Amino acid sequence: MTNERKKVVCIEDELEMIELVKLILGRNEFEVIGAVGGQAGLELIAEEKPDLVLLDLMMPEMDGWEVYQKMKASEEMRNIPVIVVTAKAQSIDRVLGLHIARVDDYITKPFGPQELLDSVDRVLQSRLQPNDSP
C-alpha cells in the first residue's frame, strides 16, 4: 500500500467527541488516535508523531492553548499542523487562534462531518505545497 494513511491525534476532554472524530475521519482513510486531556495529548504527540493534531481549547487541568504553546516550544512538535476544534465560537476567539496564535485552522462545535474533512484536507494539502511566502 503506497498511499499511507495520515495519522491524526485528537485531544479532547470528551470521549464522545473523540469517537465522533474517529468515525468521520476513519471512514476517509485517516488513522485517528484520541487523548483525553492536554497532558495525555502531549505525550501521545511525542510518541506518535502525527501528521495533524485536532485540539480542543476548553479542557480541565491543561487547556488547549497551553498544549499549543508547549507544542510550538518543542523542536519535535513545532511543525505539526494544529486545527483547533472548540465550542468557543466568538469571532475574537477565531481571530486570536488564526492570526495571533497562528493555528492552521479553527472549527467551532457543533460542526458537520464535511466541514471537518474539508479542514483536515485543506491543512494537510497546504503543508504539501512549497511555502513561497516571504
Task: Provide the residue range defining the domain that includes 73.
Answer: 6-128
Residue in the block written with cell 475574537: 92
One-letter amino acid for residue 33 of the chain: I
CA distance 70 to 66: 6
Contact yes or no for 6/32 (Cβ under 8 A): no
pLDDT at 120: 97
- How is residue 19 written as a grid cell? 469517537
Please report, for the domain that includes residue 10, its CATH number.
3.40.50.2300
Instruction: Tell me if 1 is assigned to some domain.
Output: no
Instruction: Tell me if 38 is assigned to some domain.
Output: yes
pLDDT at 81: 96
pLDDT tens digit string along 89-103? 665 555 565 555 678
